[in-house]
Structure 1
Amino acid sequence: MSLRRLLAVTVLAAASLAATAPALAQVCAAPGVTGTASVTGVVNTYYASTGSAFAGSSSIPVSGPDGRGAATPIAAGDLLLVVQVQDAAIDSTNTATYGGSGGGAGYTSLNNAGRYEYAVAAGPVSGGLIPLAAPLANTYTHANASSVQGQRRFQVIRVPQYSSATITGTVTAPPWDGASGGIVAFDVAGTLNWGGQAIDVNGRGFRGGGAQCSTSGFGVNTDYRTSSAGRTINLAGTGNNPNGTKGEGVAGTPILVFTPTTPFDNSAGTITNTGGADGTTGGYPNGSFGRGAPGNAGGGGTDGNPTANDQNTGGGGGGNFGIGGKGGFGWTPGTPPGFDTGGYGGMSMPLAPARLFFGGGGGSGSTNNCTGTPANGRATSGGAGGGMVLIRAGSTTG
């Protein structure tokens, strides 16, 4: 069996399992209403949440269309996918209990992270609300980061309903940007012909931590979390910048995130500061830096000699089905292997029919003397995790 066919069978099997869960009853708004289609590129329209939506609600608060997705707006009878992307809670103490799952990683509760359901629109978006034909089965939470929990976000996706479809080019999704994106979802009432093509959401999930120079003595290599409150977050590589940045995951978004121009290529991209110049807002509780791994995100690398910036370690890898890899050892002037103080790998997520997760973002490492491309230490930014694919089809071929 080809890898492509295996993927199709796996996705369909997962959809069948999901349909057995009480909150995931089979929802088909109008099977095949989109007609026969040649499918390529981005097929979904994405809407970011603007407020919470509770179980039993008949509407969902959202922003306008993402703008990076398909141009088709929501209309009456459209099939929707609602996904709680972030909602987990963590232990944020600066000890090996960080995270909550043991070993400096994980979570204390997933809460509703990963919960999802299909719904049917009763009409177009009006007044910032999507009206629903039936009440929601789950509660979906939208909240900014606080002193005790990272940001919580969900999104709503318009799902095409083809009568039959042939994939004629790579199908993908815009990368998750902290509010929406990262998911490919469509229904096919009849046959889905893969046409020798693929669906690619590599690197479309949670973002990696943004790297910066460590040019002061602030932050030690035993830190599971390092706060940036009251200190300058300076992407130019000067100032009292702290340990490596944690990745993004189910428990929230760090202060610094990296978006590569091309997935898996850190030679060019953008680092975004989500927490303000003084680092006092946003991010993870008690700090977005240090080796502890929050949820399925990787921890940041540390440096045993940050003033000289010469004992560099790697950031931890993001987790999903498995635990992410631990960041590499630091350099030592003595006998190798050096200091085992790299970022911890993100925790694995439960394999549960009623939950879906992006791959966790990797933590940033430390570049010796802030070298590399791009400059100012940015080259060791963490990589993004994988996105999600949900397909329901009568049969597949190709």
Structure 2
Amino acid sequence: MKNIYLFLSLLCFAHFASAQMQVNAYARVTNISGNSLQLSQVDETFDSFEDGEQVLIIQVQDDVIGSNTANNSSFGDLDQILNAGNFEIAQILSHTESAGTPISITLQNSLIRPYSTGTNSRLQIVSFPQLGSPNYTTTADLTAKAWDGQTGGVLAFEVLNQLTLAHNISVDGLGFRGGAVSRNYSGPACSANGVYISSSDEYGEKGEGIYPNTNPNYTYARAKMLNGGGGGAHHNGGGAGGGNYTAGGEGGRGYNGGGNVCPAATAVGGQSGLALSSQIAPNRIFFGGGGGGGQQNNSRGTSGANGGGLIYIKAQEMISSASCSGITISANGNDAASWTNDGAGGGGAGGSILLAVNNFNINSTCPLLVEANGGTGGSSLSSPHGGGGGGGQGVIFYSSTEPNSNVLSRTTNGQAGCNNNSSPCNNFAGSPSGTNDDGVFDEALLPLELSYFKAQKANNKVDLSWGRSQTDQTNWFELQRSANGLHFETLTQIPSQDQQQHYSWTDESPLQGQSYYRLLQIAQNEEQAISALRTVYFENGALALQIFPNPTQNELYLQLNQTTDGLQLELLDIQGRKQSIQYEKEADLYKIHWNNLPQGIYFLQIIGPNFHQIKKIQIH
């Protein structure tokens, strides 16, 4: 059904080329147990989660604020980054649904990186569809669902061979949300510079960042919210810009009741959204921080702007149409609106773009612009009040050398808003830190991923073969084998070759009975990834068995072709934990039963004097 739906969607959008097209499904992960993920807030409007398909797991927010929660300028500082920004590609083994909506997903393998699912954490799973077969040409502008505090903000897909860009790809303003403008409130001028946190909307609201605020007492006033910009205080303080690779700019100082802005000592503008450059890496990325809201008393302030979202594209080659006015791939922060008399909002920070693409062949008549820029702070177009701070720049990662033939890459800081109506402006809010385009990186070590892994019987041997993506940075492979699927031995180690995608090795002396094979990838930065298991069975001529029924509910029968003394039976869950079972023997038939085991995949170990076999069963 999914492929039919996607095909119809493509046809529909082909008739309306100006429309924007989405290709992802989203869900919040509320719990992780081994390979199993519990889901909520599932959105399958444009795609669905299906067995065998790939997904992107990303820690959008985590409890990174620590004890930095007092009403002072240290509020919103980073305590520990914890798992914020961690992400990886995984594959769905199976899933369960309720009323047609997925409620849990079991992955082929355990997740490589650590993740958090607590109250002050937001972990998201996003479908990672393959578009085309193997080539794909865009039929409409591509975009994503906007981040809503639970899911969204990510556009991710793979094209196995050639991706032709005939339309724009954008997640502009789909990342962390900007803070709201305050209600009308006329406090004394330059009087609230010491109010950093508040539950009152007489102050501008803080922009959103990598800490998910659940405390209403932290919502408003000057302090940043990690990389979210602080709100303006009274009166007429400007909101600060959000941060990502660089910090946002401070909000304008506010109205002093006369002909100037507040002095620095009593400034009431929001604090800059933090720079995350020390934490950002090819396997740790963030949405752009939202700008803080301005403070108003004449209904003329403006809200903070949203930050940019995340784009992750994998392709062998990226090309552009034969002729066009230009194509963009963008994760820009939004500009804040300008108005008069009151405090303006801060600009949103640029988001993040990852392009795991080996070759770029961009036509000179259809050039490509890749950008993750900060948004402009709003201006207060009147006598000196508080303009909004500019949004910080985002980040761009290329897995190969940065393309420069008909491709322009940029991550620029957003401009600061003006505090007055002078022309040209002579009094600005704060500008973001850092140098433009510092956020562009190439030859990045993106997450490891196998194209395939196979184990096939060949006479009395096992031929093992696998392929890797040309975009990954595997240093070497380690082939491992197990008799029980739990304890593995190393068979061989094989170095990865730069230009080699396909590998093979033969197990000359396979085990009798059931064997389990897996492949370990080790990257240049020592990150590791483990493949899905592959099984091979060699009949040993001494013992044959059957199990039935399978699937089952609370009992199982084991039929042997001979009477065997000293047989031991063990039932293990998918994490390898032994479960309590009872069994009785009658000649060559064993009846096995248990009480109240959860639904799922289990493994029955049959252990005898000269053999060890494992059978997978499903309990429903």
For 2:85 and 2:48, the matched residues in 1 are separated by 25
- Give the superposition deviation at 1:82: 0.5
**Equivalent residue of 1:191, what SS?**
strand
Matches within 5 A, 1:168-317: 168-195=139-166, 197-215=167-185, 221-228=192-199, 241-253=201-213, 282-283=214-215, 286-303=217-234, 311-317=235-241
Q: Deviations over 1:115-163 (max 9, x none)?
A: 001110012344621111111112322222xxxxxx3101101111132
> Does the 8 Å CA contact 1:170/1:198 hold for their aligned counterparts?
yes
Tell me how far apart the structure 2 counterparts of residues 317 and 96 of structure 1 sit (CA, whole Å): 16
Is the 1:226–1:242 contact (alpha carbons within 8 Å) kept by the matching residues of 2?
no
> How far 1:288 moved relative to its partner?
1.5
Shift of 1:168: 2.0
| 1:363 and 2:292 aligned | yes
Provide closer, same or farther for how the CA distance between residues 131 and 221 of structure 1 changes in structure 2, counting only shifts above 3 A.
same
Larger radius of gyration: 2
1:62 corresponds to: 39
Looking at structure 2, the residues matched to 203 and 158 of structure 1 have their Cα atoms a distance apart, in angstroms, of: 21
Q: Is the 8 A contact 2:73 2:196 kept in 1?
A: no
Structure 1 stretches of 5 or more lacking a match? 1-33, 101-106, 145-150, 234-240, 254-281, 304-310, 373-378
Q: 1:283 to 1:170 in 2, by over 3 A?
A: farther
Structure 1 residue 65: deviation in Å?
2.7
Give the alignment partner of residue 53 of structure 1, picking from 7, 32, 51. Answer: 32
Q: Summarize the alignment of residues 89-128 of structure 1 with structure 2, pairs less than 5 Å apart.
A: 89-90=64-65, 91-100=68-77, 107-126=78-97, 128=103
Contact 1:45–1:73 (CA<8 Å) still a contact in 2?
yes
Tell me: CA distance 1:212–1:141, structure 2 relative to 1, closer, same or farther (3 Å). Answer: same
Q: 100, 122, 130: which one pairs with 1:161?
A: 130
Task: Report how far residue 224 of structure 1 moved.
Answer: 4.9
Measure, in 2, the Cα distance between the counterparts of 1:395 and 1:224. Answer: 52
Residues in 1 aligned to 2:268 and 2:85: alpha-carbon distance in whole angstroms:
30
1:387 partnered with 2:309: yes
Once the two structures are TM-superposed, the CA of residue 48 in structure 1 deviates from its matched residue by 1.7
C-alpha displacement at 1:389, in angstroms?
A: 0.1
Cα drift, residue 221 of structure 1: 1.5
Matching residue of 1:15: none
Q: Using a 3 Å threshold, how does the CA distance of structure 1 residues 287 and 242 change in structure 2: closer, same or farther?
A: farther
Q: Aligned partners of 2:90 and 2:240: how far apart in 1?
A: 37
Aligned to 1:113, the other structure's residue is in SS state coil
Unaligned runs of 5+ in 2: 1-5, 14-19, 321-620
CA distance in 2, matches of 1:349, 1:89: 12
**1:78 equivalenced with 2:7 (yes/no):** no
Q: Is the Cα contact below 8 Å between 1:96 and 1:224 reproduced in 2?
A: no
- Write the letter of the residue equivalent to 1:58: N
What is the alpha-carbon distance in structure 1 between the residues aligned to residue 244 and residue 71 of structure 2? Answer: 24
**SS state of the match for residue 353, structure 1?**
coil
Residue 185 of structure 1: how far off its partner (Å)? 0.2
Deviation at 1:217, TM superposition (A): 5.5
| Map of 1:346 onto structure 2 | 273
1:174-220 C-alpha deviation (Å, 9 max, x unpaired):
1000000110000111000012x111101100011122314376995
Distance 1:97 1:215 in 2: 26
**What TM-score, normalized to structure 2?**
0.44
C-alpha deviations, 1:283-307, integer Å up to 9, x for none? 37x521121112110001001xxxx
Cα 1:61/1:347, change in 2 over 3 Å: same
**TM-score, length of structure 1 as denominator length:** 0.68
Match of 1:14 in 2: none
Match of 2:23 among 43, 65, 68: 43
Residue 260 of structure 2: aligned partner: 336
1:322 to 246, 255, 272: 246
Q: Deviations over 1:339-374 (max 9, x none)?
A: 4220011011133111110000111111232x14xx
Higher strand share: 2
Q: How many residues align?
A: 292
How big is the shift at 1:335?
4.7
Give me the whole-angstrom Cα distance separating, in 1, the residues matched to 2:42 and 2:71: 40
Which amino acid is 1:131 matched to?
Answer: T
* Greater displacement, 214-223 / 289-298: 214-223
Structure 1 residues 154 and 224: alpha-carbon distance in aligned structure 2, compared to 1, 3 A threshold:
farther
* Identical residues among aligned pairs (%): 35
- CA separation of 1:118 and 1:380: change in aligned 2, threshold 3 A: same
Q: Is the 8 A contact 1:73 1:124 kept in 2?
A: no
Does the CA-based 8 Å contact 2:41-2:151 persist in structure 1? no
Contact 2:64–2:82 (8 Å) recurs in 1: yes
- Measure how far apart 1:334 and its partner are: 3.4
Q: CA RMSD in A?
A: 2.5
Number of the residue aligned with 1:142: 117
